Amino acid sequence: MKSSVDIAVEAMRQSNPVPDPASLADVMMRPEVFLTTTKETSPAMSTTQQATHPPTGETPHRRRNLTALVAAFAVVLVVGAIIALLTATQTQEPATPADVTQAFIDARNAGDGESLSAMLSEGAFIYGGGADSSATLASQAEWFGAVGWEWTLVDCEEGPGSAETQVHCSYAHDNAWSRALGIEQINDGGAFTFVVADGTIKSFVHDWQQTTFSPAVWAVFVTWVRDNHIEQLPVILSDECCTAITTAEANAVWQELTVEFVAEVEASS
């Protein structure tokens, strides 16, 4: 008898949208397109861009027909989108607390502060992990995105309750620095505790334990910045060692430094 994991894997294998890559052969361009870099045919030019720059020599009549076709297609698309939207809103099931918390972590991993804020209820209680309000949580998420931070929920327990549900999750995490250093996802014993009500998050508490991560990853990166870009330290840290500045300007610097750090570590390993 197959295990439930085997059955799930087989089901996913069968749902592969492109089981045979050869079926896509019709769109393959000639490699010479990339080998000659000219202004007219840049290798970075997308097929969409190429489609919007047709070769000259078309007749006005043909161009008019094309415009009418594109306009008709656009109308069909808009009508289709409205119908799809109406259908989706009618059949959408309410999100479970587990779905809400996972979506929250996904947005955090994607560095999407706006989506993160939209998931919080008004006046949500935010505490721990360097954030104390929905605004700081959002800017911190942008920072996580800038340095490739990824949080993986390991085990979640839901408490009782119908109106409000408490969800307590242990997690493992890594970022671009740790991955470059070849360090696996770290579980320092930290945890997230959510309170979910009506599909939104009323409370988010982050118990961020860093006993392993701090010396193995954080300190390595900060030392590298100190050695190579000491002038940037006050731009990214408010105390020269431990507290990240997560404004948009600082996040851009964090990202630049991260890219350079990763390239240097990978080149030396």
Partner 1 sequence: MAGPYRGRETWRGLMDPNANERFTRLYAAHYLAVLAYCARRVSRSEAEDITNEAFAVLWRKMDQFDPESPLPWLYRVALGLIKNRRRATRRTAALVSKLGGMGKRADDAVDVVVVRRERDREVLGVLGRLSNSDQEVLRLSIWEELPAADIGLVLGCSTSAAEQRLHRAKKRLAQKLSPILPRSAPSPQSLEEGGRP
Residues of this chain that bind partner 1 (CB under 8 A): 1-5, 7-18, 21-22, 24-25, 27-29, 31, 34-35, 37-39, 42-48, 81, 85, 99, 102, 105-106, 109-112, 114-115, 145, 150, 152-154, 174, 176, 179-180, 182, 184-185
CA angle 245, 251, 254 (to 5 degrees): 90
Q: Which two tokens stand for residue 26?
A: 């019709």
CA distance 150 to 217: 14
Q: With respect to partner 1, which residue has the nearer C-beta, 156 or 233?
A: 156
Q: Of 50 and 210, which CB lies nearer to partner 1 in the complex structure?
A: 50
Q: Based on CB atoms, which residue is closest to partner 1, 177 or 225?
A: 177
For tokens 């804020």, the residue is 117
Nearer to partner 1, 59 or 268 (CB): 268
- Specify the residue, 84 or 241, whose C-beta has the smaller distance to partner 1: 84
What sign for the dihedral angle of Cα 46, 47, 48, 53? positive
Q: What are the distances in angstroms from CA 69 to CA 2, 55, 66, 102, 210? A: 52, 18, 5, 42, 59
Q: Provide the minimum distance between the beta carbon of 66 and partner 1 in the complex, in angstroms, as a whole number.
A: 17
Output the smallest distance, CB 240 to partner 1, in A: 29
For residue 131, the minimal CB distance to partner 1 (Å) is 20
Q: Indicate the SS3 state at residue 8.
A: helix
Q: How far is the CB of 140 from partner 1 (least distance, A)?
A: 16
In the complex, minimum distance from the CB of residue 41 to partner 1, in angstroms, rounded to a whole number: 11
Structure tokens belonging to residue 166:
């408490």
C-beta of 101 vs 165, nearer to partner 1: 101
Query: How near is the Cβ of 181 to partner 1 at its closest, in Å?
Result: 10
Contacts of 72 (CB under 8 A, 6+ apart): none
Pairing between strand 165-174 and 150-158? antiparallel
Q: 134-146 vs 248-268: helix axis angle to the nearest 10?
A: 30
Question: What CA–CA distance (Å, rounded) separates 13 from 41?
Answer: 38
- If the CB atoms of residues 74 and 154 are measured against partner 1, the closer one turns out to be 154
Nearer to partner 1 by Cβ, of 47 and 59: the residue is: 47
Report the C-alpha dihedral over residues 104, 108, 109, 114, rounded to 10 degrees: 100
CA distance 58 to 56: 6
Question: From the CB of 118, what's the least distance to partner 1, in Å?
Answer: 9
Least distance (Å) from partner 1 to the CB of residue 62? 22
